[in-house]
Structure 1
């Protein structure tokens, strides 16, 4: 399978495709992977499939065993037939908000340099769970530090390393609950900042904005007690 479009060009909003299969549950698989499939705490993309003057709303996308995105219709209805040439269209505003939140959560793991035990992303908000026995002493200072990083407008880039290289550098993995996907022989790293301005580098398969300034202002929400050793830190986009 070719590199998914959601990874090679996360700013692509639509794409031509051909339907290659249907699933028993009524999902659609295409030869172009525009829709991000649910994984790593990030929701699957939603949007539409258009063909022959028809439009099929897509509620979400999940990953097939082959790695392809299964597009899940919002309601049971006629599907584009196998072999049909279609246009895939994202709910771009929702995807872009996922990108902004996901990148902001990477920065949250910088201002709170503790092991991450869980996380979740929504369209406009997100949270990370940390191995944090005591709540932070100054929540306002954390929020300011997070927004200061965002305001630096740092570039967000990627590169790939082998699984052996990751094994030799276990400190790259911040998340205790979600491990990088393995089996393909290589692992994608997301880097924030370059050279002396680099602030973060960690394995991640999700979609991100190209510069931190695109995130916009972020508010720190509730810091919840999730057990003796865990705290949940919530964030939300201002707009």
Structure 2
């Protein structure tokens, strides 16, 4: 899951999580002994769904899961960690500096602060919110040919069912659920991928709807297309 030359970085990150991460309340004390199987390896397999040389935005990054892990495992990726809490972004910045991760940027703020400003090939998250809310935060950051890729639990199919109205309103493609690391992990990672149904009609912000015109979903017009940045 980690290239040979990147494994020492993963080990140093695990050490920081087990020490500073616990002291600062970012990781529970009981999580420290099982950091590798429950957190690092669990997140690293997400790289299977990330395209080569992609730009990745990890929203609600917390202690860097999964954003920092995939940035360590995949140096070809350009990863932006978005986290609103100062104590968390301080920790993230310290880890990035200590490990000299030149493919990582830390942004303190909410995901919606980037809406209409920046887009990414992939928007990742882990245990941030139910799918209905996650779509509203994430999809405006997804490039036309990009995707939301979220780590989810056993209730993923229930979340998809509950989010049907939002999926239709945003004009998303049918969600895809994958089990990652089945041959490597005792508990495989469940990952949800959501792309746009029609990349040609992705835009931000939405154009006003004139009387009598066909109503479009949030953030969509046929005449204004979002550019990849």
With CA pairs under 8 Å and 6+ residues apart, which has the higher RCO, 1 or 2?
A: 1
Quick check: which has more Rg, 1 or 2? 1
| TM, length-normalised to structure 1 | 0.25
**Higher fraction of helix:** 2
